[in-house]
């Protein structure tokens, strides 16, 4: 029985062989993370797999804390690890010392790092966003000269708002020189004085869209004085250009829709405005006619003398008050003069007093002339106004042969307001006549 080994002894021997093999101390492996778990202790437990095999792996907390990305299920990674045996389960596994994303994963890692840095520097701050003009005259379109993106944008602009002038600017949107070319075209478009800039391209992989993740492109968009709409890829694609642009469009077609108003909606707005103005004008005319009718029925216009009778009486009152005031002033001056004469009896003041009397007399005469001239002007103006009102009065009009026709106390101004058999009242200069309509003749019918 001594020749039989225990399971533990065999496992220890196999582990010893693994640990002594120099080829298994540092192995470079690439694969996909599977069954990824982060233990409460901070250690990472997962499996690496490809299309044919799978191997268990772990990473201790001290090493995991040094990673510059957050590993997750499905990541493609490359690792440096040591191969050994876990005695308790009798299975071999790898102990990972280093890990980094493989291929596309490196781009995502770079994307996240640059995104964090640019956000920290304020490039994505909403306070820097500029509004898109509602009614643009010119729109610059920076994209490849061929492809679906430029066709979609132009077709959408033409169908929505054909008044705008699209300025096509061809640019490289993929490749090593694309970023520098996009920056140059953004600066050129910003110098043209257009209302909006659309920059973008159709969909593709992260490698295809990477030019729009370059830091120089992000800063060029940020520095544009013209509002920029980013339209890179499809709805699920997101680039750093989308974050820094004033507006992000899910597709090039949506970018054109954001940049332009819909002519059908504008037509509806204009139609509503026209209807509102028509209603407003009709309502205004209705109120104006009602106001005119009230003025026509105003009793003072039917008896024009009422308009100036009060003014004539008021003028007479003012004239009387003016003469009374003048007489009072003159009397006061005379009394003052007498007092002065009584106070100064010296002979050498006599001549001065006479001169003052003459001056007062002249002033009085001038004042009388001035008052009489003003009264004359006022009388003449009043006579003219009375004559004008008298010429406009209904009585004066009737003296020239005209008459006023009323039906039920309403003044009739048109033959269309009368029908055969109506009772009417005809007011003339010397009386009124009651009559019955036998026949109505209008200029445009044969009644």
* pLDDT band for position 87 (cuts 50, 70, 90): confident
Sequence-separated (6 or more) residues with CB below 8 Å from residue 193: 138
Task: Report which secondary-structure segment, H or E, holds 411.
Answer: strand 410-411
Query: Contact, 407 vs 417, CB < 8 A?
Result: yes
Average of per-residue pLDDT values in the chain: 85
* pLDDT band for position 94 (cuts 50, 70, 90): very high
pLDDT at 447: 46
pLDDT at 108: 73
pLDDT at 388: 78
pLDDT at 295: 77
- Minimum mean pLDDT among 44-58, 73-87, 172-186, 406-420: which range? 406-420
Could you count the other beta carbons within 10 Å of the beta carbon of residue 169? 20
* pLDDT band for position 6 (cuts 50, 70, 90): confident
**Does the pLDDT value for residue 1 go beyond 80?**
no
**Does the pLDDT value for residue 221 go beyond 90?**
yes
Task: Give the CA dihedral 153, 158, 162, 164, nearest 10 degrees.
Answer: 10
How far is CA 61 from each of CA 41, 42, 255, rounded to the nearest angstrom? 7, 5, 47
* pLDDT band for position 95 (cuts 50, 70, 90): very high
Residue 381, CB-side half-sphere exposure with 13 Å CA sphere: 8
**Does the pLDDT value for residue 2 go beyond 80?**
no
Q: Which residues pair with 150 in a beta bridge?
A: none
> Residue 114 has which token pair?
């640059």
What is the full DSSP assignment across 414-430?
-GGG--TT-EEEEEETT
* pLDDT band for position 353 (cuts 50, 70, 90): confident
Residue 305, CB-side half-sphere exposure with 13 Å CA sphere: 3
Sheet containing 404-407: give its strands across. 410-411, 404-407, 423-428, 431-436
Query: Contact, 142 vs 197, CB < 8 A?
Result: yes
Higher-scoring residue by pLDDT: 112, 93:
93
Domain coordinates in residue numbering, the chain: 7-101, 107-261, 270-324, 399-437
> Residue 363 has which token pair?
């002033």
Q: What is the mean pLDDT of residues 301-324?
A: 78
Rounded CA separation 85/13 (Å): 10
Q: What is the mean pLDDT of residues 173-197?
A: 92
> Residue 241 has which token pair?
């250009």
**Does the pLDDT value for residue 147 go beyond 70?**
yes
> Residue 334 has which token pair?
């005379």
Domain 7-101 has CATH 2.40.50.140: yes
Highest mean pLDDT among 49-63, 65-79, 203-217: 49-63
Q: What is the mean pLDDT of residues 202-220?
A: 85
Which one of 3.40.50.280, 3.30.465.10, 3.40.50.620, 1.10.150.20 gives the CATH number of domain 107-261? 3.40.50.280
pTM, full prediction? 0.46
- Minimum mean pLDDT among 158-162, 350-354, 369-373: which range? 350-354
pLDDT digits (tens, 9 = 90+) for 363-393: 888 988 898 889 888 889 888 888 777 776 7
Q: What is the mean pLDDT of residues 228-241?
A: 85
> Residue 323 has which token pair?
């003469």
pLDDT digits (tens, 9 = 90+) for 47-60: 998 888 999 999 99
Rounded CA separation 151/154 (Å): 5
Query: Contact, 183 vs 199, CB < 8 A?
Result: no
* pLDDT band for position 444 (cuts 50, 70, 90): low
């Amino acid at each position: 029985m001594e020749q039989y080994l225990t399971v533990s002894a065999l496992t220890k021997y196999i582990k010893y062989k693994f640990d002594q093999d120099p080829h298994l101390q540092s192995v470079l492996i690439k694969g996909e993370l599977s069954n990824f778990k982060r233990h409460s202790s901070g250690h990472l437990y997962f499996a690496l797999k490809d299309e044919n095999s799978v191997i268990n792996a772990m990473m201790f907390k001290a090493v995991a804390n040094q990673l510059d990305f957050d590993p997750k299920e499905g990541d493609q990674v490359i690792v440096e690890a040591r191969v050994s045996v876990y005695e308790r389960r009798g299975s071999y596994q790898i102990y990972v010392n280093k890990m980094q994303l493989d291929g596309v994963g490196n781009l995502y890692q770079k994307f996240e790092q640059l995104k964090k840095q640019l956000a920290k520097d304020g490039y994505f701050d909403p306070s820097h966003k500029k509004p898109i003009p509602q009614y643009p005259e010119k729109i610059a379109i920076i994209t490849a000269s061929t492809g679906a993106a430029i066709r979609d944008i132009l077709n959408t602009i033409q169908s929505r708002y054909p008044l705008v002038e699209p300025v096509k600017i061809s640019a490289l949107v993929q490749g090593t020189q694309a970023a520098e070319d996009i920056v140059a075209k953004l600066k050129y478009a910003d110098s043209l004085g257009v209302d909006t800039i659309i920059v973008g391209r159709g969909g593709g992989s992260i490698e295809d869209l990477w030019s729009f993740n370059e830091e120089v492109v992000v800063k060029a968009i940020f520095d544009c004085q013209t509002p920029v709409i980013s339209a890179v890829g499809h709805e699920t694609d997101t680039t750093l250009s989308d974050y820094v642009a004033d507006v992000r469009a899910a597709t090039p077609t949506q970018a054109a829709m954001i940049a332009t108003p819909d002519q059908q909606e504008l037509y509806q707005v204009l139609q509503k405005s026209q209807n509102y103005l028509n209603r407003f004008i009709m309502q205004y005319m209705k109120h104006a006619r009602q106001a005119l009718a009230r003025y026509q029925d105003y009793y003072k216009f039917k008896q024009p003398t009422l308009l100036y009778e009060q003014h004539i009486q008021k003028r007479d009152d003012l004239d009387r008050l003016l003469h009374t005031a003048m007489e009072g002033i003159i009397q006061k001056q005379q009394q003052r003069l007498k007092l002065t004469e009584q106070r100064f009896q010296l002979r050498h003041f006599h001549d001065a007093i006479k001169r003052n009397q003459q001056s007062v007399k002249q002033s009085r005469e001038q004042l009388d002339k001035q008052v009489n001239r003003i009264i004359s002007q006022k009388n003449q103006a009043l006579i003219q106004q009375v004559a004008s009102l008298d010429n406009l009065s209904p009585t004066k009009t009737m003296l020239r042969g005209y008459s006023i026709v009323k039906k039920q106390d309403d003044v009739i101004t048109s033959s269309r307001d009368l029908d055969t058999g109506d009772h009417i009242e005809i007011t003339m200069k010397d009386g009124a006549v009651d009559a019955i309509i036998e026949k109505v003749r209008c200029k445009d019918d044969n009644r």
